[in-house]
């Protein structure tokens, strides 16, 4: 047998093999990354509290500017593994882990994780899982916001309480339900900007940093770095 | 497939060049291994030994892309054809551990091939007995095992799938001599009764010679340069093997590398000992599974210790005797009992290392932990060496020239501009010691500085330490290495502190007796309960119901000792919520025109949402969560297993974080809360360091899991069932009570 797996230079390197055929190392890495980000999220919650309260005094929707940190796991998970589902899976594991030691949002943390992860996943899907540059990362960060925004500005009807799965959402969400529409839209803007800059920009830089450290040699992001300077 | 004639391996013309490397790692390797043959695979550092093992598992190329030529077969088919046909034990103990308990961990391969759960315990028992762990109860936590036991557990995990070929990748490199002997005994017993082909990679050849038939030697450029009966190859290739840095039997340790003491900065001369310690003990508080905490004595130093200029003091004792712990206390990372038992310097300059700022500590003390890679702080090898000197304000061409000369003496000069994280383990070890000593600290604390190293790195490390002593530095080392002990001026024997027998707490809180899904759902029910409460008076009533329910959930009826610390645990987990309630309440009060009513409503709502999570979530067990997510909710098996494995290791992330912080502090890189720049740099470096280690662990675990059939596990079975019981329904009903109370009160 002679197998040559070369990747085209310059363009983003995509995942090896069939896009949807996850290798074990893909699955384990996303889970571990998610767990590590979960710890980061838990710590960030403590910093977020005073920061968000400071800007609350100025203009409530500005609190969204500090939320982008929570979209990091989805963006980085996607950038590292580059397979359908990676962003969602990574963000959900991170939410689960950050929830276990106790946060100020209790179990709703998990709901947020699913919604944010779905947003990032949507961005990578729109790009056909082919583009993994800084632009794609920022789009994924920005799109992590809208579903989370809906959860935060719209209260789920309490009448859902009798429904099987949706019941756990009954009356849930709506931390910012009292805002007027203009402020709600400003909040979406703040979330989106924060997602693009913190989750997208910083997430992309972090991924490149990890690749340079040699930690991503099993992944497309690591190959990009190695092809840039073959040894 | 269960015949005596199995395990026939053919490697034909194997060449492998990973993407991004100009030179192949393996070149035209051709080998035939006969069934039942026991082979020792040796070679220079970086010679592609581990890569060849990976090729024998059939996984080469699945982990990183590259050009692969040639063929590998096991009994005529590709090695990965039958899951578990090739068993693999990795170097680092615990890197392949999948589950929290011994029984479940050994059963992992059986689960992957869809074996009947009813038959699993018998196979698991048999596999554990084969490696000498038959006495361990199946529910023993995997985290409670010694390094040697963990390696034998890994071997048992491969045996459960009845492999035809067993591969061991430096299985004893990180173990002390007693644990290493246990592992070798298990390997010897393995090939005695049921012939399987065995390949061991090692660079300490002596202890393995009696256990193998054949020795294969790889050159640095990835070719087979010697292959034959072990005694014969040892005879004819002795000089070649020595030149590769291998430990050849009956050959004395190499002469230490001559390092000019002038390459290290002059150690400031002190009158008296550079470090003194009164007899001391170190206590460690551990959190037990039931939520209680226990303070155990982790280590004791029975005699006073004084490290004088030029002296080598060694700490010896079996594994678990607390050598590393005592060293960490000497460095000021852990609190000694009595307080202030450790002093750096003598007379009026004496200081408690815990009280010194990072640069002041670095000026007086250096520390090299057993994991050299965890102390790396810079982005180039040269910067790594200069880090501490720079932190102490010593800059300039003279410092740089001295650093380059030091790297040159250690054979690292060509790598001066390389990223230290890309170096081999031996290179990192030499670099770590050089970087610790470049600025001339009066004391060096070294944890197992020579363990697992080849002759070249051994000579370099021993030579560096000698140069440091010649320059007037004192050294305290924890070691098992007889050659190092022979060079010591003073030897302290440590013994593991006696452990008081632990009374098992037989009583389990009611919440802990429920399944993970019920616990999660119960925690979720806090959300509607909080949000539907229209006014703080309602929220208060709901909170009262929740507190009552919490008392019931945490009650642990039954005979025996009650679990301690339950209330404390819940309170601790409510802290983030309470802080958020306070700050949210305050900001609402401020915004809503100082309306106390609205503020209280908002604040209590937060508490109502958080309290059920704080009470119920601590009892979610990762393994059981995996069982239930897969068997009850029918979520896809492989992501579920991965998530459970990740949850299992979350607690180790904290230890990595602490270790990175220690390494930075002792290198002079401090964090003062008043300097935002320092804080930001520290957070960034620690986060990146944590992620790098996490990613490394993920790759290792993935390799170990694939060798046990995880790659092809489409229809898994499960070691433990996941029943939904009456108690789960009761918990859900109880957790719905606050929601009902809130709705009724509206």
Query: Could you read off the pLDDT of A43-101 as tens digits, one per residue?
Result: 888 788 788 878 877 888 888 899 899 999 999 999 999 999 999 999 999 999 888 76
Task: Lay out the sheet containing B26-33: strands in order across.
Answer: A2-4, B66-74, B9-18, B26-33
Of residues B333, B337, B342, the one with CA closest to residue B296: B337
- Exposed, middle or buried, B557 (CB in 10 Å: 0-12/13-18/19+)? exposed
Which of A50, A56, A214 lies nearest to residue B422, judging by beta carbons?
Answer: A214
Which residues 495-534 of chain B have a CB within 8 Å of chain A? 520-521, 523-528, 531-532
Helix or strand or coil: residue A58? helix
Name the minimum distance, in Å, from the CA of A98 to any CA of chain B: 10
Interstrand relation of B38-43 and B197-201 (parallel, antiparallel or unpaired): parallel
Q: The domain that contains A28 carries what CATH number?
A: 1.10.1760
Which of A40, A100, A230 lies nearest to residue B620, judging by beta carbons?
Answer: A100
Q: How far apart are CA A82 and CA A124, in angstroms?
A: 8
| Residue B490 φ then ψ, to 5° | -140, 140
Mutate to test the interface with B, among A26, A91, A104 (most CBs of B within 10 A): A104
**Per-residue pLDDT at B421:** 85
Asked if the C-beta of B13 comes within 8 angstroms of chain A's C-beta atoms, the answer is no
**B436-455 pLDDT, tens per residue?**
999 999 999 999 999 888 99
Which chain A residues have a beta carbon less than 8 Å from that of B572? 102
**B276-287 pLDDT, tens per residue?**
999 999 988 765
Quick check: B281 and B297 in contact, CB under 8 A? yes
**Per-residue pLDDT at B503:** 59
Residue B620 backbone class (left: φ over 0; alpha: ψ -120 to 50; beta: rest): beta
**B430-439 pLDDT, tens per residue?**
999 999 999 9
- Has residue A97 been placed in a domain? yes
**Per-residue pLDDT at B485:** 95
Give me the percent of chain B exceeding a pLDDT of 90.
Answer: 58
Model confidence band, residue A2 (pLDDT cutoffs 50, 70, 90): very low
- Has residue A10 been placed in a domain? no
Question: Domain range for residue A106?
Answer: 24-222
Which chain B residues have a beta carbon less than 8 Å from that of A58? none
Which of A53, A108, A206 lies nearest to residue B527, judging by beta carbons?
Answer: A108
**B676-699 pLDDT, tens per residue?**
888 888 888 888 888 998 999 999
The structure's pTM equals: 0.88
**Per-residue pLDDT at A5:** 46
Q: CA B710: distance to chain centroid?
A: 22
Quick check: A224 and A12 in contact, CB under 8 A? yes
Task: Lay out the sheet containing B280-287: strands in order across.
Answer: B293-301, B280-287, B336-337
Name the minimum distance, in Å, from the CA of A87 to any CA of chain B: 13
Name the minimum distance, in Å, from the CA of B145 to any CA of chain A: 23
Q: Do A35 and B688 lie within an 8 Å CB cutoff? A: no
Which of A89, A96, A217 lies nearest to residue B64, judging by beta carbons?
Answer: A217
Which of B574, B586, B698 lies nearest to residue A25, judging by beta carbons?
Answer: B698
The domain total for chain A is 1
Q: Which residue of A has its CA nearest to B604?
A: A104
- Please report which helix (H) or strand (E) contains residue B714, including its range: none
Which chain B residues have a beta carbon less than 8 Å from that of A168? 521, 524-525, 527-528
**B92-144 pLDDT, tens per residue?**
888 999 998 999 999 999 999 999 999 999 999 999 999 999 998 998 888 88
Model confidence band, residue A11 (pLDDT cutoffs 50, 70, 90): low
Q: Do B698 and A57 lie within an 8 Å CB cutoff? A: no
Q: How far apart are CA B67 and CA A5, in angstroms?
A: 7
Q: How far apart are CA A180 and CA A165, in angstroms?
A: 30
Name the minimum distance, in Å, from the CA of B608 to any CA of chain A: 9
Q: How far apart are CA A170 and CA A162, in angstroms?
A: 9
Higher pLDDT, B609 or A28: A28
Q: How far apart are CA B567 and CA B540, in angstroms?
A: 20
Q: Which residue of B has its CA nearest to A48?
A: B580
**Per-residue pLDDT at B1:** 43
Model confidence band, residue A161 (pLDDT cutoffs 50, 70, 90): low
Which chain A residues have a beta carbon less than 8 Å from that of B18? 217
Q: What architecture is the B261-493 domain classified under in CATH? A: 3-Layer(aba) Sandwich (3.40)
Name the minimum distance, in Å, from the CA of A60 to any CA of chain B: 9
**Per-residue pLDDT at B3:** 47
Quick check: A142 and B720 in contact, CB under 8 A? no
- Has residue A13 been placed in a domain? no
Q: How far apart are CA B321 and CA B458, in angstroms?
A: 24
**Per-residue pLDDT at B146:** 84
Which of A5, A36, A104 lies nearest to residue B580, judging by beta carbons?
Answer: A104
Which of B421, B618, B711 lies nearest to residue A214, judging by beta carbons?
Answer: B421
Name the minimum distance, in Å, from the CA of A78 to any CA of chain B: 14
Q: How far is CA B278 from CA B281, B340, B345, B407, B479, in A?
A: 10, 9, 14, 37, 21
Q: Which residue has the tokens 């080469």?
A: B60
Higher pLDDT, B588 or B32: B32
Q: Do A31 and B20 lie within an 8 Å CB cutoff? A: no
**Helix ranges, chain A (H):** 24-58, 72-81, 86-99, 108-126, 134-143, 145-153, 181-194, 203-212, 220-228
Provide the β-strand partners of residue B39: B199, B214
**Once rounded to an integer, what is the mean pLDDT over residues B642-669?**
88
Asked if the C-beta of A174 comes within 8 angstroms of chain B's C-beta atoms, the answer is yes
Q: Which residues contact B392 (CB under 8 A, 6 or more apart)?
A: B359, B362, B363, B439, B668
Asked if the C-beta of B696 comes within 8 angstroms of chain A's C-beta atoms, the answer is yes
Q: At B403, list the tokens.
A: 């650093």
Which chain B residues have a beta carbon less than 8 Å from that of A60? 591
**Once rounded to an integer, what is the mean pLDDT over residues B240-253?**
93
Quick check: B301 and B327 in contact, CB under 8 A? no
Q: Which residue of A has its CA nearest to B735?
A: A168
**Once rounded to an integer, what is the mean pLDDT over residues B631-637?**
92
Asked if the C-beta of B697 comes within 8 angstroms of chain A's C-beta atoms, the answer is yes
- CA quadruple B244, B247, B248, B254: dihedral sign: positive
Mutate to test the interface with A, among B22, B520, B695, B711 (most CBs of A within 10 A): B695
Q: How far apart are CA B70 and CA B425, in angstroms?
A: 29
**Per-residue pLDDT at A173:** 57
Q: How far is CA B669 from CA A155, B360, B375, B656, B661, in A?
A: 48, 10, 12, 17, 9
Helix or strand or coil: residue B28? strand
Asked if the C-beta of B735 comes within 8 angstroms of chain A's C-beta atoms, the answer is no
- Exposed, middle or buried, A53 (CB in 10 Å: 0-12/13-18/19+)? middle
**Once rounded to an integer, what is the mean pLDDT over residues A178-201?**
91
Query: Residue B271 pLDDT more than 80?
Result: no
| Arithmetic mean of pLDDT over chain B | 89
Asked if the C-beta of B185 comes within 8 angstroms of chain A's C-beta atoms, the answer is no
Q: Do A5 and B638 lie within an 8 Å CB cutoff? A: no
Q: How far apart are CA B40 and CA B51, in angstroms?
A: 15
Q: How far is CA B217 from CA B47, B48, B89, B225, B241, in A?
A: 9, 11, 20, 6, 8
Asked if the C-beta of A5 comes within 8 angstroms of chain B's C-beta atoms, the answer is yes
Asked if the C-beta of A23 comes within 8 angstroms of chain B's C-beta atoms, the answer is yes
Helix or strand or coil: residue B472? coil
Query: Residue A201 pLDDT more than 90?
Result: yes
**A118-160 pLDDT, tens per residue?**
999 999 999 999 999 999 999 999 999 998 888 887 766 666 6
Which chain B residues have a beta carbon less than 8 Å from that of A47? none
Q: How far is CA B730 from CA B210, B724, B725, B736, in A?
A: 62, 11, 9, 10
Instruction: Give domain limits for chain B.
Output: 1-85+165-251, 261-493, 511-623+730-745
What b/e sequence results for A95-134 when a residue is b if at least 16 CB atoms lie within 10 Å of its CB, and e otherwise? bbbbbbbbbbbbbbbbbbbbbbbbbbbbbbbebebebbee
**Per-residue pLDDT at B290:** 46
Interstrand relation of B165-169 and B86-89 (parallel, antiparallel or unpaired): parallel
| Arithmetic mean of pLDDT over chain A | 84
**Per-residue pLDDT at A9:** 43
Name the minimum distance, in Å, from the CA of A64 to any CA of chain B: 15
**B403-432 pLDDT, tens per residue?**
999 999 999 999 999 989 888 888 999 999
- A–B interface: beta-carbon pairs under 8 A: 245
Q: How far apart are CA B422 and CA B128, in angstroms?
A: 37
| Residue A203 φ then ψ, to 5° | -60, -40
Q: Do B62 and A172 lie within an 8 Å CB cutoff? A: no
**Per-residue pLDDT at B703:** 92
Q: CA A62: distance to chain centroid?
A: 20
Which chain B residues have a beta carbon less than 8 Å from that of A231? 20-22
Mutate to test the interface with B, among A22, A31, A37 (most CBs of B within 10 A): A31
Q: Which residues of B530-658 form beta strands (DSSP E)?
A: none
Q: What architecture is the B1-85+165-251 domain classified under in CATH? A: 3-Layer(aba) Sandwich (3.40)
- Has residue A186 been placed in a domain? yes
Of residues B412, B522, B533, B529, the one with CA closest to residue B461: B412
**Per-residue pLDDT at A183:** 87
Asked if the C-beta of B580 comes within 8 angstroms of chain A's C-beta atoms, the answer is yes
First to last CA, chain A: 25
Same fold yes or no, B1-85+165-251 and B261-493: yes
Helix or strand or coil: residue B281? strand
Q: Do B587 and A57 lie within an 8 Å CB cutoff? A: yes
Q: Enter the ipTM.
A: 0.86
- Has residue A121 been placed in a domain? yes
Q: CA B559: distance to chain centroid?
A: 38
Helix or strand or coil: residue B665? helix
Mutate to test the interface with B, among A37, A43, A44, A107 (most CBs of B within 10 A): A107
Q: Which residues contact B432 (CB under 8 A, 6 or more apart)?
A: B368, B372, B375, B376
Query: Residue B586 pLDDT more than 90?
Result: no
Quick check: B10 and B73 in contact, CB under 8 A? yes
| Residue B385 φ then ψ, to 5° | -65, -35
Q: How far apart are CA B309 and CA B271, in angstroms?
A: 9
First to last CA, chain B: 70
**Per-residue pLDDT at B233:** 95
Name the minimum distance, in Å, from the CA of B21 to any CA of chain A: 5
- Has residue A149 been placed in a domain? yes
Quick check: B171 and B208 in contact, CB under 8 A? no
Asked if the C-beta of B351 comes within 8 angstroms of chain A's C-beta atoms, the answer is no
- Has residue A2 been placed in a domain? no
Q: Do A104 and B577 lie within an 8 Å CB cutoff? A: yes
Q: Count Cβ atoms below 10 Å from residue B272 Cβ, excluding itself.
A: 13
Q: How far apart are CA B115 and CA B111, in angstroms?
A: 6
Q: How far apart are CA B663 and CA B370, in angstroms?
A: 12
Asked if the C-beta of B658 comes within 8 angstroms of chain A's C-beta atoms, the answer is no
**Per-residue pLDDT at B567:** 82
Model confidence band, residue A6 (pLDDT cutoffs 50, 70, 90): very low
């Amino acid at each position: 047998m002679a197998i040559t797996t070369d990747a085209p230079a310059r363009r983003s390197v995509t995942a090896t093999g069939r896009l949807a055929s996850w290798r074990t190392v893909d699955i384990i890495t996303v889970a571990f990354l998610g767990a590590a980000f979960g710890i980061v999220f838990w710590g960030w919650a403590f910093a977020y509290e005073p920061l968000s309260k400071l800007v609350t005094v100025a203009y409530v929707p500005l609190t969204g500017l500090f939320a982008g940190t929570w979209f990091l796991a989805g963006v980085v998970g996607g950038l590292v593994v580059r397979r359908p589902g990676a962003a969602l899976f990574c963000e959900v594991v991170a939410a689960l882990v950050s929830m276990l030691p106790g946060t100020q949002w209790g179990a709703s943390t998990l709901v947020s994780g699913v919604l944010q992860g779905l947003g990032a996943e949507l961005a990578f899907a729109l790009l056909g899982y082919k583009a993994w540059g800084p632009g794609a990362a920022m789009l994924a960060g920005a799109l992590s916001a809208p579903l989370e925004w809906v959860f935060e500005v719209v209260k789920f009807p309490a009448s859902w309480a009798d429904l099987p799965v949706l019941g756990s959402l009954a009356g849930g969400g709506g931390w910012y339900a009292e805002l007027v529409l203009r402020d709600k839209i400003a909040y979406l803007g703040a979330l989106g900007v924060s997602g693009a800059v913190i989750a997208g920009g910083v997430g992309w830089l972090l991924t490149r940093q990890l690749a340079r450290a040699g930690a991503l040699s099993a992944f497309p992001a690591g190959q990009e770095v190695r092809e840039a300077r073959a040894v | 497939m269960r015949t005596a004639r199995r395990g026939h391996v053919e490697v034909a013309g194997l060449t492998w060049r990973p993407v991004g490397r100009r030179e192949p790692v393996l070149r035209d390797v051709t080998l035939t291994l006969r069934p039942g043959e026991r082979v020792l695979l040796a070679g220079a550092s970086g010679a592609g030994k581990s890569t060849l093992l990976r090729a024998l598992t059939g996984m080469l190329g699945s982990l990183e892309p590259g050009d692969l030529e040639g063929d590998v077969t096991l009994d005529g088919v590709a090695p990965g054809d039958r899951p578990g046909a090739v068993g693999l034990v990795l170097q680092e103990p615990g890197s392949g551990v999948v589950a929290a308990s011994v029984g479940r961990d050994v059963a992992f391969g059986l689960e992957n091939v869809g074996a009947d759960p009813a038959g699993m315990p018998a196979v698991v028992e048999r596999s554990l007995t084969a490696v000498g762990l038959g006495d361990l109860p199946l529910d023993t936590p995997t985290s409670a095992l010694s390094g040697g036991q963990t390696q034998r557990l890994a071997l048992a995990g491969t045996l459960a799938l009845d492999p035809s070929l067993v591969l061991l990748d430096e299985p004893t490199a990180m173990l002390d001599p007693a644990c290493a002997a246990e592992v070798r005994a298990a390997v010897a017993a393995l090939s005695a009764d049921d012939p399987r082909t065995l390949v061991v990679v090692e660079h300490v050849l002596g202890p393995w010679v009696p256990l193998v038939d054949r020795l294969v030697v790889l050159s640095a450029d990835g070719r087979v340069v010697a292959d034959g009966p072990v005694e014969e190859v040892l005879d004819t290739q002795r000089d070649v093997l020595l030149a590769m840095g291998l430990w050849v039997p009956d050959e004395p340790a190499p002469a230490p590398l001559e390092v000019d003491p002038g390459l290290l900065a002059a150690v400031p001369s002190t009158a008296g000992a550079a470090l003194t310690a009164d007899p001391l003990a170190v206590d460690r508080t551990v959190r037990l599974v039931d939520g209680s905490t226990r303070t155990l004595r982790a280590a004791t130093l029975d005699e006073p210790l004084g490290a004088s200029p030029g002296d080598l003091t060694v700490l010896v004792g079996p594994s678990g005797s607390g050598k590393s712990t005592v060293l960490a206390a000497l460095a000021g990372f852990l609190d000694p009992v009595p307080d202030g038992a450790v002093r750096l310097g003598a007379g009026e300059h004496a200081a408690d290392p815990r009280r010194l700022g990072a640069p002041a500590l670095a000026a007086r003390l250096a520390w090299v932990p057993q994991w050299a890679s965890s102390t790396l702080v810079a982005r180039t090898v040269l910067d790594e060496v200069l880090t501490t000197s720079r932190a102490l304000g010593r800059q300039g061409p003279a410092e740089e020239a001295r650093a380059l000369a030091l790297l040159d003496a250690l054979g690292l000069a060509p790598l001066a501009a390389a990223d230290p994280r890309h170096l081999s383990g031996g290179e990192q070890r030499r670099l770590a010691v050089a970087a610790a000593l470049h600025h001339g600290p009066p004391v060096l604390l070294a944890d197992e500085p020579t363990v697992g190293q080849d002759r070249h790195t051994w000579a370099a490390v021993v030579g560096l330490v000698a140069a440091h002593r010649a320059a007037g530095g004192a050294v305290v080392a924890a070691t098992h290495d007889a050659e190092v002990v022979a060079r010591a001026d003073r030897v302290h024997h440590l013994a593991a502190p006696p452990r008081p027998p632990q009374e098992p707490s037989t009583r389990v809180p009611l919440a802990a007796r429920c399944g993970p899904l019920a616990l999660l759902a119960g925690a979720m029910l806090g959300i509607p309960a909080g949000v539907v409460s229209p006014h703080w008076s309602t929220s208060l009533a709901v909170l009262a119901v929740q507190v009552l329910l919490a008392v019931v959930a945490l009650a642990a009826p039954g005979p025996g000792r009650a679990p301690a610390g339950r209330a404390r645990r819940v309170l601790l987990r409510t802290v983030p919520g309470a802080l958020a309630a306070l700050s949210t309440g305050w900001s609402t009060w401020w915004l809503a025109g100082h309306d106390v009513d609205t503020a209280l409503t908002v604040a209590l709502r937060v508490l109502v949402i958080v309290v059920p999570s704080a009470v119920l979530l601590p009892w979610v067990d990762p393994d059981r969560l995996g069982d239930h997510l897969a068997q009850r909710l029918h979520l896809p098996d492989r992501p579920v297993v991965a998530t459970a494995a990740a949850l299992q290791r979350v607690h180790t992330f904290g230890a990595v974080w602490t270790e990175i912080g220690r390494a930075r502090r002792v290198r002079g890189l401090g964090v003062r809360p008043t300097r935002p720049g320092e804080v930001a740099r520290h957070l960034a470096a620690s986060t990146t360091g944590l992620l790098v280690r996490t990613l490394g662990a993920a790759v290792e675990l993935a390799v170990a899991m694939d060798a046990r059939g995880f790659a092809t596990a489409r229809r898994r079975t499960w070691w433990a069932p996941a029943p939904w019981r009456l108690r789960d329904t009761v918990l859900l009903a109880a957790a719905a009570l606050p929601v009902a109370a809130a709705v009724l009160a509206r």
